[in-house]
Structure 1
Amino acid sequence: GVVRVETISDLFSCSEILATQPLPKSPNLVIITNAGGAGVMAADALILRGGDLARLSEKTVEELERVLPYYWSRSNPIDICEDATAERFRKAAEICLKDPGAGGFLVLYTPIGEADPTETAKAIIEVFKGSGKPVLTCWLGEKEVREAREIFRKNRIPTYPTPEEAVAAFMHMYQYARNIEILYEVPEEIKLSPPSDKMRLKNIIKRAVDEGRFTLTEFESKEFLKEYGIQVSETYVAKNPAEAAEIASKIGFPVAMKVLSPDITHKMDVGGVILNIYSEAQVKNCFLQIIGNVKSQYPNAKIYGVTVQPMHPRDYEVIIGSKRDPVFGSFIIFGSGGVSVDLFRDIAIGFPPLNQTLARRMIERTKVYKAFSGGFKGLSLANLRSIEEALVRFSQLVIDFPEIDEVDINPLAVSSNGIIALDARIIVDVEKVRSEPKPYEHIIIRPYPTKYISERTLRDESKVTLRPARPEDEPLLIELFRAFSAETMRLRFFRVMKEIDHYVTARYCNIDYSREITIVAETEINGKKRLIGMANLIIQPDGNNSEISVVVGDPWQNKGLGSIMIDHLIEVGRDMGQKKLFGEFLAENKKVFHILQKKGFEIRRIDKETCIATLNL
């Protein structure tokens, strides 16, 4: 939900509009103005920021024809002409408000005609009051529009001195709405397997530090990628020209050759890379050339040899990397790679942990995505799924190793067949290697808490898995909600929800695990995964107390699951350092009353209908 702004004025205007206006459902803006020039400038600013002019429906145009002079613009921006009165502003706004294609409205007033600025402001406030759609205003001028601007502020309608500032605020608002929408999208599942030998990888880091190195070699760096399921180009090390020629003849031509040195981080910059080598004679010459290039520029560099690897066909080259910010911790970058990294600066940023949806949105924010999805000058469409998987797996690598300060895969070759890492580099944080850092202290978003997964047995001997919910669980959670009777729903939510929509269930799946936990009970029925119960723990603003709640689907009640889930919440609460758990329930809910009482909760009535239970941990 974070919105990035570029100026201090944008920071304040963005804060104001998010606090006072409903969010737009699209970037389609309707601009109503009494000055064509101001409308055109607003439209230009909108397009430059990635927004769109709302396309007016035929019905809207027909209705506007009846109230506007024959010389009006007949398009958006809607120029209601310089002789417009406050009443004409009002009628135009009323008609446009009904247009289904409008995501938001910008009303521009220029003091050039008959319309009184204050009366016009009052008319606009009356039209949009309670409409549920965002409206912004721009009253151009100084002394003559001060009263109008003050009236807008008192009625919580944002007003701006220029069309460009108003458009910027609208696009910030839309970006926020889009961010929230993305967070609630249901990602496709990407299965992650833990590395088979994590200790071996830690030993690679330790050995490098013991040798006085903080940069791992390409060969060492690729070992990390392989353990996390990211395909790498097989790399062989040659100590002399003859070995290089022998390796090349075995793996087949053409080949690529690169210097292997812990002191050289950007091999291409020092002539340490030669591509498309087609013969043994060329290989021998290239070996000597690479060594000579490096020694001439870095005479004291340690050189372990030259790597030889096959040339892989690719349509695109991208970079996947991670760096560490002192405030936000480790973050992930994705964008155009190879030698074009510094040239195009085509980079998107994300924070681990990534899932499939977040990975796809990172990809979509880059310029190279247009080439991926539409092909470019004969290039094939990219295998986007393989890039998503690589980003998710890379994200897990960053999470698992706080000792890594910086890592990049550049280039990552992309084609319609998939991806392959051609080069990799890892820089370690020597202090963290020696101090044995706490897990996850290097990332700002807490990853999926696997330690809260637990296997339990119900009274009927059936097995259930208690685990934290994931965004991917939303379809299963919808099934669970549909298994609730009206009575079960009323006892849990204090009301009956007639419609179970995306935003209701997404609220329980898309969570910050450092602030709240949704525990689901999963079992298998007829070979299909089902969720049969749900428990919630929400940490309060004081950080010490948590509200809890539990609900079990009707077909699985009276099997002891509710009691088991409360026990699990108590364990989770203790582990998260909570001092007290509390929960409200209807006094008529005798089952919950007896379960909580047995577990040591102190229960008292809040009113005739409601009780509160508290437990000191």
Structure 2
Amino acid sequence: MSVRDLDSLFKPTSIALIGASKKPGSVGAVLAHNLFSCGFDGPIMPVNPHESAIGGSLAWPDIASLPIAPDLAVVATPPDTVPGVVADLRDKGCKSVCVITAGFGEGDDAEGLARRVKLEEAAGPMRILGPNVLGLMVPGVGLNASFAHISPLPGDLAFVAQSGAMLTSVLDWATGKGIGFSHLVSLGDKVDVDFGDMLNYLAVAPEVRAILLYVEAIGDAAKFMSAARAAARTKPVVAIKAGRVAEGAKAASSHTGALAGSDTVYDAAFRRAGMLRVYDMQELFDAVQTLSSSLRRLGVEGDGRPESVGDRLAILSNGGGIGVLATDSLIEQGGHLSDLEPETLEKLNGVLPPTWSKGNPIDIIGDAPPSRYADALEVLLKDKHSDAVLVLNCPTAISDSDAIAARVLEVAAGKSKPILTSWIGEGAAANARRRFTEAKVPTYNTAEEAVRGFMHVVRYRKNQANLMQVPVSRGDNGGEPDRATVRALIDTALAEKRAWLSEVEAKQVLDAYQIPIASSKVAKTPAEARQLASKFSMGDLVAVKILSPDITHKSDVGGVVLNLSSPDQVEEATKHMLERLRRDFPDAQIDGVSVQQMIRRPGAHELIVGLSEDPQFGPVVLFGKGGKEVEVVGDTVTGLPPLDDVLAQSLIRETAVNKLLRGYRDEPAADFEGIRHALIQVGRLAIDFAEIKELDINPLIADSQGVVALDARIRVAPVSGKLAEDPSSRLSIRPYPRELEGTVSLLDGRAIAVRPIRPEDSTGLQELVARSAQEDIRFRFLHPMKDLPERLANRLSQIDYAREMAMVALDPEDGKSLIGVARLTADADGAEAEYAILLRQDHKGEGLGYALMTRLIEFARMRGIGVIYGDVLCENGPMLSMCRDLGFTAKSHEDDPGVMRVSLPL
């Protein structure tokens, strides 16, 4: 389920309160008071068999006696009664229920879990919010179905929290700051309505400007990621995650499993979705303030997309100390002081006293009057090297802080560059902060909070920018891997009841996926090791490593010997290693040793690339500084597959080792293309083989010559059912559907290659529009368009395969150019999907549109979509004719007589 009937929760026309009470201080009494006192324009029907009236309204003895079926029922009765109450509401025809009551399995209580099952069975088609919730509040419709202590102010922020205590804390704080909300929703134990549902609903709600989440656990990861990516493309989404404990690392047996704990995976998920993550209550309050203070002024457009990704801040202050503190905070959080233009410095010299700081931060001296602030701010807002300006003020006996704030607001009016403010102190600063809040200029109690607010926007912009960047075209995505070889290696290990591939087998897997490896040979005995070493070239150094599925970290137990320079040394080292490890680990299965030529690359960087399976989000890819000290150093970052060049590069940039990889002094930059390729291919392994549970490449050495995997470990486990049929179904982000690639036949019998659209098709879409007839463009977009803007082209090519599909037809002449595109966009429930088609002018009349539309219909049936529809201009005769041939029905659009709505039930 998703957005179906959620309007009955958040825009009900009638409400029933089951468990309404007059008892002072009871939940039923508080709920009744809140429902009746907030201006809801509709019948509110309290149900209580022992009262004749509650809140001035007639009370009903039971649900069956209610005069109408309520849109929304709020239930606050004892736990054992709730399933029966919900069943009665279902039979009455109620559409949604908010279950306030707790006792449905919190803490894995067996009795409560049994009640939860009964509740789910009783609900039927009704939507359930809860159980164990504070309730919900929608000020815009006068709805307060909660037992919160105060009612929220109306506004455009939506806040969704699992914790009722967190919701009331934010409500209390925000009300004192004059910050209002469009929705406040407590999710509780999420029997039905969850974060994915709420994101899907709020993303398209016009009254919602930004969405705040308090997350403990998200539930359905795939639904959450699809909904979050869709929502974050349209408006800012901010999340705070509680319980940052890497519980998944406890049982991990690989470096990747130990490092990719649950919190790092949530971090990866939020980043991948284009959301902003905050880490504590104060940060959440800061984020509320930042978002409630003109998003556009902070460089975020009304549709949630970033105008720029700059992190260069100019700091204007009347005190040197406070400016230094702001600078320290900025650098610590990864921002940069702007390097003011020479012209800016010259202009500042003209308006400031000779004793000003002559640089950034701009200290305009403690006696600065309002005019000095205004003059300096005017200059800084025109500086091209600054992305935002932070204005600080410390109270003095000489200057009027309130008057300075008034002049700052005068200068800020109408300016596009982001401005943040912090007036330090209490009494002297209170009125100034009130002025800024009323004018929608972000203001903070301290300079550090202001800088953090700025960095919130910077991080949000960067995540959004990653969503809109187009990866480098790889044509065939770097070549198809040898999946058959990997399948054989995995099947052999599973048949032999082995959980771990040998090092040699693991390297064969990497080789099959075009990741360069240091080849290894297996020796069962010291004599065989000597023989293998004798085949290496003179002067080559040799490494010997133990082969054992029971010894995972070889170097920790002396299972690796390096820098052996002769066959004799290899034989001797192998002998001692086997003897010692068989003595120290008598129960371990030891299969011999691997003998490999050592790769001598002085100055090369040791990296780690890994794969593990998170219990919530499925496969995750890990990257960072590798080597024996990988856990100690802790310089790693986690990402969700599938990956492309842009996403892989973004992962690399998140690590400290990235600075070294870029080159320094006389050291050239490492082969970033090779590193990205390794990350992408490891992600492809996760897509192709559900049996791979953990993978480590450590170290992957990298320098300007390329990358080479020196060691690799892979853990496998059998799978069945859906995972065996579709390995990619375990991913939280649906990957490129390679299985949909194929051909369609034209009227003359020619075969045209078609495939799902890829992000790198952005330029191809622009070229397709440029070579299409203007009339066709108007028919497709319902208005004239000379060319396709880059931002829109990026959005149309970077689709969520979980809820969209676009099939592109390729030019038979070059096999690359797009000659047509057919698109299907489903609603959040997957019940309906809208189609659109555009063909290049020189390929009209060939039957291509009909063939692409047929392919879309096949896809929609496969996905279980109920109806395909489209809006077609009445003058678009060819499209209407094709729709009739395909079985569509047509009727006039209710909002536009010049448009026909065509639909095809499936």
Q: Does 1:79 align with 2:363?
A: yes
Encode CA deviations 1:164-215: one digit per residue, 9 max, x unaligned.
Answer: 22212212311222233233333223334444453x5345434434544322
Q: Residue 285 of structure 1 is aligned with which of 572, 584, 598?
A: 572
Query: Superposed, which structure 2 residues align to 1:522-537 within 5 Å?
Result: 522-525=810-813, 527=814, 529-537=816-824
Distance 2:491 2:511 in 1: 19
Confirm or deny that 1:487 pairs with 2:775: yes
Shift of 1:284: 2.0
- C-alpha displacement of 1:499: 5.2
Does the Cα contact within 8 Å between 1:56 and 1:75 map onto a contact in 2?
Answer: yes
Determine if the alignment matches structure 1 residue 10 to structure 2 residue 286: no
Q: Does 1:167 align with 2:451?
A: yes
Q: CA deviation at 1:116?
A: 4.1
| Conserved? CA contact 2:550–2:589, under 8 Å | yes
User: In the alignment, which of 221, 232, 235 is matched to residue 520 of structure 2?
Assistant: 235
541-550 or 468-477: which moved more? 541-550
Aligned 8 A contact 1:235 1:309 in 2: yes
Aligned partner of 2:692 in structure 1 is 404
In 1: Cα distance, 2:865 partner to 2:328 partner:
53
1:389 positional shift = 1.8
Q: Which secondary structure does the structure 1 equivalent of 2:517 belong to?
A: coil
Which of 852, 863, 868 in structure 2 is aligned with 1:576? 863
* 1:264-296 deviations in Å (ceiling 9; x for gaps): 000000000001111222112201221233234
Closer, same or farther: CA 137–273 of 1 in aligned 2, 3 Å: same
Aligned with 2:880 (options 593, 605, 613): 593
- Between the aligned partners of 2:753 and 2:891, the Cα distance in structure 1 is 29
Separation (CA, whole Å) in 2 of partners of 1:51 and 1:435: 43
Secondary structure of the residue aligned to 1:477 is helix
- Aligned partners of 1:104, 1:171: CA distance in 2, in Å? 11
Please tell me whether the aligned partners of residues 232 and 422 of structure 1 are also in contact (alpha carbons under 8 angstroms).
yes
Measure the CA separation in 1 of the matches of 2:903 and 2:439: 42
- Alignment partner for residue 53 of structure 1, among 337, 343, 367? 337
Kindly state the Cα deviation for residue 248 of structure 1 after the two structures are TM-superposed. 0.8
- Unaligned 5+ segments in structure 1 are none
Length-normalised TM-score, structure 1 = 0.92
Secondary structure of the 2:755 match is strand
1:33-48 map, 5 Å: 33-48=317-332
1:307 to 586, 590, 594: 594
| Counterpart residue number, 1:551 | 838
State the shift of 1:261 in Å. Answer: 0.5
Mapped partners of 2:291, 2:671: distance in 1: 37
Deviations 1:379-431 (A, max 9, x none): 55432222222222221112111222110111123343322222111122456
Q: What's the secondary structure of 1:441's corresponding residue?
A: helix
Task: Identify unmatched segments of 5+ residues in structure 2.
Answer: 1-273, 301-307
Matching of residue 464 in structure 1 with residue 749 in structure 2: no
Identical residues among aligned pairs (%): 38
Counterpart residue type for residue 439 of structure 1: P
Q: Residues 460-485 of structure 1, C-alpha deviation per residue, up to 9 Å, x if partnerless?
A: 55542222111222222221121134
Counterparts in 2 of 1:424 and 1:6: CA distance versus 1, 3 Å: same
Residues 1:541 and 2:828 aligned together: yes
SS at match of 1:374: coil
Distance 1:560 1:147, change over 3 A: farther
Tell me if the contact between 1:262 and 1:302 (Cα under 8 Å) persists in the aligned partners.
yes
2:450 and 2:487 map into 1 onto residues whose CA distance is: 52
**Number of equivalenced pairs:** 614
Taking a change above 3 Å as real, the CA distance of residues 207 and 119 of structure 1, as seen in their structure-2 partners, is same
Alignment match, 1:272: 559
How far apart in 2 are the matches of 1:30 and 1:236? 59
Q: Of the candidates 659, 676, 700, which is equivalent to residue 370 of structure 1? A: 659
- Native 8 Å contact 1:14 1:173 kept in 2: no
Aligned to 1:177: 461
Deviation of the 1:351 alpha carbon: 1.7
| Amino acid in the other structure paired with 1:64 | L
Distance 1:450 1:542 in 2: 24
Write the letter of the residue equivalent to 1:17: T
C-alpha change, 1:439 and 1:241, in structure 2 (3 Å) is closer
Given candidates 121, 124, 129, the residue that maps to 2:408 is: 124
Instruction: Give me the whole-angstrom Cα distance separating, in 2, the residues matched to 1:471 and 1:140.
Output: 47
**Residues 335-370 of structure 1, C-alpha deviation per residue, up to 9 Å, x if partnerless?**
222223234222132221111222223233333333
Q: Alpha-carbon deviation of 1:126?
A: 4.1
Is residue 667 of structure 2 the alignment partner of residue 382 of structure 1?
no
- CA change 1:595–1:115 in 2 (3 A) is farther
Structure-2 residue corresponding to 1:424: 712
**Cα-to-partner distance string for 1:93-124 (whole Å, 9 max, x where unaligned):** 23322222221121212222555444444443
Match of 2:734 in 1: 446
Instruction: Tell me the residue number matched to 1:607.
Output: 896
Q: Is the 8 A contact 1:18 1:173 kept in 2?
A: no
Question: Deviations along 1:476-518, whole A, 9 cap, x unmatched?
Answer: 2221121134333222223333454421211111222112222
Give the Cα–Cα distance (whole angstroms) in 2 for the partners of residues 156 and 327 of structure 1.
39
Name which of structure 1's ranges 78-87 and 469-478 shifts more when overlaid on structure 2: 78-87
Alpha-carbon distance between aligned partners in 2 of 1:140 and 1:261, rounded to the nearest angstrom: 64
The change in CA–CA distance for 1:84 and 1:379 in structure 2 (over 3 A counts) is closer
SS in 2 for 1:46: helix
Query: Using the alignment, how far apart are the partners of 2:572 and 2:281 within structure 1?
Result: 57
Conservation of the 8 A alpha-carbon contact between 2:690 and 2:723: no
Paired with 1:177 and 1:435, the residues of 2 have a C-alpha distance of 36
Q: Cα–Cα, structure 1 residues 488 and 247, in superposed 2: closer, same or farther, change >3 Å?
A: same
Change (3 A) 1:18 1:571: farther
CA, structure 1 residues 143+347, in 2 after alignment: closer, same or farther (shift >3 Å)? same
**Contact 1:82/1:113 (8 A) holds in 2:** no
Residues 112-143 of structure 1: CA distance to partner in whole angstroms, max 9, x if unpaired? 25554444444434433443332222222224
Q: Distance in 1 between matches of 2:859 and 2:597?
A: 51
Match of 1:44, SS state, is helix
* Mapped contact 1:400–1:439 kept (Cα < 8 A): yes
- The whole-number CA distance in structure 2 between the counterparts of 1:246 and 1:236 is 11
Q: How far is 1:242 from its partner? A: 1.2
> For residues 902 and 410 of structure 2, what CA distance do their matches in structure 1 show?
47
**Secondary structure at 1:213's aligned position in 2?**
coil
Over residues 204-251 of structure 1, what are the superposed CA-to-partner deviations in whole Å (9 max), with x where a residue is unaligned? 434434544322221222222122122222222222211111111023
Are the aligned partners of 1:403 and 1:432 in contact in 2 as well (CA < 8 Å)?
A: no
- Find the counterpart in structure 2 of residue 224 from structure 1: 509
What SS does the aligned partner of 2:316 have? strand
For residues 297 and 7 of structure 1, the distance between their equivalents in structure 2, rounded to whole angstroms, comes to 47
C-alpha distance in 2 between matches for 1:297 and 1:324: 31
Q: Aligned match of 1:22 in 273, 279, 299? A: 299
RMSD, aligned CA: 2.6
Q: CA deviation at 1:90?
A: 3.2
Q: Which of 807, 810, 817 is equivalent to 1:519?
A: 807
2:723 touches 2:729 (CA, 8 Å); kept in 1? no
* Aligned residues of 2:388 and 2:417 also touching (Cα < 8 A): yes
Please point out which of 326, 345, 353 is paired with 1:69: 353
Q: Give the counterpart letter for 2:809 in structure 1.
A: A
* Structure 2: distance between partners of 1:491 and 1:433: 45
User: What is the DSSP-based 3-state SS (H/G/I as helix, E as strand, rest coil) of the residue aligned with 1:188?
Assistant: coil
335, 342, 352: which one aligns with 2:624: 335
Assess if the C-alpha contact under 8 Å between 1:42 and 1:167 holds in 2. yes
The one of 531, 540, 545 equivalent to 1:246 is: 531
The Cα of 1:256 is off from its aligned counterpart by 0.6
Q: What is the CA–CA distance in structure 1 between the aligned matches of 2:291 and 2:733, rounded to whole Å? A: 23
Answer 1 or 2: higher relative contact order, Cα 8 Å, separation at least 6.
1
Task: Judge which range, 493-502 or 69-78, deviates more.
Answer: 493-502
**Corresponding residue for 2:638?**
349
